[in-house]
Amino acid sequence: MRILVAEDDATLRSGLIQALETAGYDTLEALDGAHADTLLATETFDLLVLDLGLPQMDGLDVLARLRGRSELINRGLPVLILSARGSMEARVRGLDGGADDYLAKPFDLPEFAARVRALLRRGRPDLLKLGLLQWQWDTRQGKLGDRTLSLSHHETVLVECLLRKAGRIVSKSILASLIGHEGVAVDNKVEVYMHRLRKKLTSADIEIHNVRGLGYLIRAMEPVRP
Ligand code: CA
């Protein structure tokens, strides 16, 4: 999942990026409207977080150009507007302009994260299949055949983060922050959870691979050829 964050306020932008990366998303940032517009015309994203008061090109213009483009790239891209223009008229203009949701500044990061999850859920299939595992995003449950996996809350949060980035490395510090551990004990804690997850996924034809010094990645096991 790749998210473009178009926000010119450096402090807010880094807060948003950090919240998104911690939740396991890939991010790209645009510091002004023109840059956002260029990125939207050339790269694919799963969500756009768009400030309205941007230098060089107003957020509403970025949105209008995005929705008006005839190419397939980023068609139907969900857009979450962030703006200090919290008035009802501004909200209506944003939503009429093709935004999917609107968050008035100031807001709390947990609410921002929840809105992001909700928007991404809409555009995502409910079910992810990897190896023999079937992961249901809405109920946050995994199945192996008919058997429902029994995972703790922390195990669920960690496996979801790995699944969102299946095939790519998730850093240990990101995983650690998800379970609220920081500092020296982090490595061990994450290790312990990964060990438990591996055990629970034993018959799933999935491996959780430890990439030394970098982090973990989850992937389907290669079929063994005789
Ligand atoms: Ca701004």
Alpha carbon of 157 to ligand 1 centroid (Å): 32
Tell me, in angstroms, the distance from the centre of ligand 1 to residue 45's CA: 21
**Beta partners for residue 62, in sequence order:** none
Cα–ligand 1 centroid distance for 101 (angstroms) = 17
For 70-115, the pLDDT digits (tens) are 666 777 789 999 988 767 777 777 777 778 899 999 999 999 999 9
For residue 160, give both structure tokens. 């979801």
Q: Rounded distance, CA 41 to CA 179, Å?
A: 37
Residues 122, 140: Cα–Cα separation, whole Å: 15
Please give the share of the chain, as a percent, with pLDDT higher than 70.
91
Taking the alpha carbons of 13, 14, 15, 16 in that order, is the dihedral positive or negative? positive
Tell me the pLDDT tens digit for each residue of 2-49: 999 999 999 999 999 999 998 889 999 999 999 999 999 888 899 999
Helix (H, G, I), strand (E, B) or coil at 119: helix
Measure 28 CA to ligand 1 centroid, in angstroms.
17
| pTM: predicted TM-score of the whole model, two decimal places | 0.60
Ligand 1: centre distance to CA 37 (Å): 15
